[in-house]
Chain A
Amino acid sequence: MNLSGGITKRRTFLKGAGVALLLPRMESLGQVSESNSPRRLLTIVNHLSFYQPELIPKTDGAFENPPPLLAELSDHLKHLKIFSGLDNPAVQNGFGHTPCVGILSGYFNKLHRKNRLSVDQAVADLIGVDTRFKSLVFQAGENLNFSQISWDKHGLPVHQIDSPRKIFNLLFQVDENEKAQRQVLAEDRSILDAVSAQAKSMEKHLNSTDRAKMDEYLTSVREVEQTVKRRAYWAERSKPSVDYELEDFDRKSVDDYVATLLELAVLALQTDSTRAVTVQIPFWEGFKEASLSGNYHDLSHHGQKKEKIDKLLMLEHAILKRINDSLNTMKARQVGNSSLFEQTTTLLTASMGSANSHNFDDLPALVFDGRMKTSGHWHRQDVPMSNLYLGLLQQFGAQRDHFGESNGALDLLA
């Protein structure tokens, strides 16, 4: 039996190249960087990880006999580097899923905002200036305290949009309340004018330390002005129209969510609405496949029971199949003078080595990039996950030699 076929039942995926309109850049902001193939980042995090014996090749080097899970990605093995055994030393403490919040930061301390910046946001800071959204972070379902994985440079949580409908509306739907929205935006702008005028006049009476503080306020006002401007700019314009119908579904199916979130992610990148998208694969107990007894979270605690592992593998095959499909879609879509795939680095990682043992070392990371010279598998016992993040950041042009707990940088394009 085709395992993944067992649960794939819904939807006809986007037919052909359904996207009609590529978003214009924001000339009004005067920040257009001219390049026909901008770099993009798609980050996919699976909290529950994968059953590694079926994913990770036994040996280092080129993929010769890809294990069954890896075989799901066989269309893209030429452009895939797998790192296994990575460690996230900062998130080893704790019980349950709480430490997962630091997975993209490579570092996490509940008490300190310092160093919380997550790699997707660090990249978005570099490439998200011109687009309608600096980044988009998707998650499926309720925002649980441990599912916050994106942190901005101030160490504050980045809003994670929790329903496909909201994402779709944000990207493509004309707001039903548009008139009211426009009024709010207009009012926001006059409020921002007033408060920044006040901040400027207050600054004059402050000592140098406090002036620096007030400058943080002013800087923030300016950034928010940009955001509001971005919003107002797009409120005036037609949204990119896509030949895509979002299927409404009530049931919380992992397969449905992954498929939908990835479709939306590809559309967001393709329309240049943003260049950095982060997707979390749903993992909480409520998620359940109609055709499969047992929920995903429970199955991941398989306790080495064969029947549970088999069901778990069906889900994991389905997830990887969806990812494979998305990568194929990205290859088929031409944006400017190259394909979306060629422009995009895709990172797939997990916050635990195995959901069965809840360990925070032995992490797998898969990097897809059309530019890499050699593909294959590298086992990197005890190498910090941050080294991979640093490598990724440098590849996006970051001028930094440290990220999270890094003690070096992995070369992702070698």
Chain B
Amino acid sequence: MRRPWTALLTGFLLSGILQAEPKLERFFAQNCVKCHGPEKQKGKLRLDKPSGAILGDKELLETIATVLEAGEMPPEDAPQPKGEVVAEILQTLQARILAQRPDNPLKRLTRAEYTHSMQDLFGINFDLTGLLPPDHVEHGFDKFGEAHLMSPHQLMAYLKTARFIAERVLPDAKPQATTWEFDARHFHGSKNFATGGGGDFRDGDDYVLTGFRPYRSNLHFSIDTESHDQFVIPAFGLYRLDVKAYSEKSQEGEVIGINLGDGRHPTSFRNIRRIPMPHGSKGFTTELTLRTGDRLAFTFDSARVPGRSLEKGKHKGPAMRFSHLRVTGPLIETWPTEAMKAILPKPKMNPAELVDHIALLLTQRPLAAEDQKAFVEIARIQDKSGASMTATARSVLIALLTSPHFIYKAESPELTAVERAHRLSYFLWNSVPDANLLNAARSGALAKDPSIQVERMLKDAKSSRFVEDFTRQWLQRDKVDDFGPDVRVFKNVRRMTVDSMGREGRELFRYLLEKDLGMEHFIDSDFVMANDRLARFYGLPAVKGDAFVPVKLPAKSERGGLVAQAGFLKLTSTDFATSPIHRGSWILKNLYNERIEPPADILINEPDIRGTTTIREAILKHQQLESCSRCHSKIDPLGFALEYYDPVGRKRNEYRHVEELPADPEQTMFTKKIKFTKVPIEAAMTLPNGREVRDLPTLKTALMADKKRIIKGIIGKLMSYAYGRELTLADRPHLEAVYESTADKDFSLRAAIHAIAAHPAFGRK
């Protein structure tokens, strides 16, 4: 429907542009070249070139259109062109932009997509962290082809990962399960080296974890009661853990973390599972896929700071008692496994047949005849050497998993049915499509109306991968605990509370999606998603358990909305200082979906803002420098309005200026002296639109007034995640269409996802 219109428009406008060129050049010469020309090159930018060169540079075009539209250039103190002149120029630029199709560079599978694809194709839940390098995040998401660097290291990792997977899904023989039993005699906890003693201890048949700070307690276990050598997983596979443990002196229950790593070096952990232990729980059973050489440990954090008291008296706070552990594995339920049946449906296949089958299984796309040859050759060599069918299939699988056929996402200029199914599936499931979706794509139903599939996919448990992956990146949830909290300053903020902060954004998103609620809840809301810890942290009515539930806010509460979430407030702070600039720019980038980057010609030093009033003055200086003020006049008011919230997201009425005093010779590092000074907060500032913001409520009012822009910003985030690229002005018609179609549905998040998938642009590269 829309395409003929665009085509028509394009044809019409292109002829217009040719005439407009001298006009453009004249406009730039009159209004821009003084600062962006031969004399000065502010922002390392020159506009004294033929308009063809400017119009041909997509990024430059985008920048010029953006600043002209926002009235940011020419700067206030420079002579201003007439409104209608700017409008005409903008029209020309925008027409040109609309006529272009945005670049969508070739994308490869992200680590999450790769992992989940393996899970859905072969029924194996392998954690590939450590095998595949982490993905590079650029402009918010790791799904952008632009940021997908390939390197020898990365390629070698693909090769190794492929071999790792192939050897496990196609084993030569059935693995044998073993059972190991451990009790208090085999358990070893953590000792507090910082104070020279204290920590975890054995108490009769129990081993007691006290969970001291800053590292938490870690329980590891050894086969030999005499040695501390950690138990090592002997073979790859699925393992069951039966644990008898209970918490004591704990009102609301606790959380046990299961980690991999050296139990004696508590910071080297990789947390692989969290087990809620509600009040009264007597233990748990869980299953995990583990690798040869993995070492398990259980972690517990009681939020107790190690003081000198730990050396003397016994621990009196909440503790976790472990009495027994049974490890069984590797567990095999069926033999041959599902993966073996999928890869080798017949006992005997000829080399070409085998290659075609596996290639199709992986991507639903056949290999081109010319590509097939080299892979068939691999199978043939194996075959000739007398290798088993399984071994031959293994080699082919390794080769295909390493090949561009699998690693890169195929996207034709107009997506084919299979490619469209993949795009939707990578969007909502982070994985390959299932048979149902492929059938819908092949029958043409998907292209016509994807709503049935989108609805089905969102209801499927696999959609939680989207919720997890999208919110992790959009809200940087995984960075919430990157800094501190400094144990000397935030003595009462418990590790598991910080962990809950990191989950709140995801849970809000999930709830809005499930309940078909509107996206303005991201800006402000009369409820928050909270679990026991967070409810207590926010001072809300008690919630039981680790699971998040909606909690209605009392009338006087300032919470509600993303900017009131402790996770966001903590994420944008350092160990013991808030960062208004960080907070303000986060809001612009992630809610308004604005691109803000430091000017190319200015080296910015992160200011040290430990809450003195003079720092406010220092930051405000930014606004006086023209090159800084373009962004900082927007950033700073948003950030300063949040100064009544401290680095962990608690309300405060004044700054506590923190100063580290020179080391006292009698003290250790964790009890080094800290000096606090109280300084009043001055938060009120005026936004460029003239609106004053002075605290969290007024900030949220201001954001609500910008609801249209912010909801478009959020839709934009979803779209760029779905497309795997940044949005440009050329996407505006699509963005507007999605916005309009959700307007009569209370801007429902779910409706927005439907509308994104239903738009014709979703079917284009």
Contacts and interface: CB of A to CB of B under 8 A. Distances in A.
Given A191-B402, A209-B105, A217 B150 contact: yes
Interface stretch (B480-488, B524-532, B647-655): B480-488
Interface string B553-571: 0000000000000000000
A238 to B, nearest CB: 26
B663 A357 contact: yes
B404 A145 contact: no
Interface string B121-164: 00000000000010011000000010011111111100100010
Interface string B599-619: 000000110000000000000
Interface in A185-224: 187-188, 190-195, 197-199, 201-202, 206, 209-210, 213-214, 216-217, 219-221, 223-224
A6 interface: no
A165 B402 CA distance: 31
Contacts of B399: 190-191, 194-195
Interface stretch (A92-100, A266-274, A321-329): A92-100
A289 interface: no
Contact of B106 (A111, A195, A209, A227): A209
Interface residues of A, number: 59
B239 to A, nearest CB: 22
A147 to B, nearest CB: 9
Contacts of A198: 367, 371, 374-375, 403-405
Contact of B368 (A154, A188, A201): A201
A280 B264 CA distance: 20
A36 interface: no
B151 A95 contact: no
B145 A195 contact: no
Interface string B475-519: 000000011101000000000000000000000000000000000
A303 interface: yes
Interface in B333-374: 367-368, 370-371, 373-374
Contacts of A206: 106
A197 B605 CA distance: 48
A362 interface: no
A187 B159 CA distance: 11
Given A156-B153, A214-B106, A144 B265 contact: yes
Interface string B380-404: 0100000000000001001100111
Contacts of A94: 483, 575
B744 interface: no
Contacts of B106: 206, 209-210, 213-214
Given A191-B399, A197-B374, A202 B159 contact: no
B1 interface: no
Given A142-B265, A191-B378, A210-B106, A303 B152 contact: no
Nearest to A225: B152
Contact of A303 (B148, B150, B381, B665): B665
A274 to B, nearest CB: 16
Interface string B193-222: 110000000000000000000000000000
A144 B267 contact: yes
A67 interface: no
A303 B667 contact: yes
B667 A194 contact: no
26 contacts: A94-B575, A113-B149, A144-B267, A156-B154, A157-B153, A190-B399, A193-B374, A194-B374, A194-B399, A198-B374, A201-B370, A202-B404, A209-B106, A210-B106, A219-B150, A220-B152, A220-B154, A227-B152, A227-B156, A285-B264, A297-B193, A301-B668, A303-B663, A303-B666, A303-B667, A357-B663
Interface of A: 89, 93-96, 110-111, 113, 142-146, 152, 154-158, 184, 187-188, 190-195, 197-199, 201-202, 206, 209-210, 213-214, 216-217, 219-221, 223-224, 227, 284-286, 295, 297-298, 301, 303-305, 356-358
Interface of B: 103, 105-106, 133, 136-137, 145, 148-156, 159, 163, 193-194, 261-262, 264-265, 267-268, 367-368, 370-371, 373-375, 377-378, 381, 395, 398-399, 402-405, 407-408, 482-484, 486, 574-575, 605-606, 663-669
3 closest residue pairs by CB, A with B: A194-B374, A154-B151, A223-B152
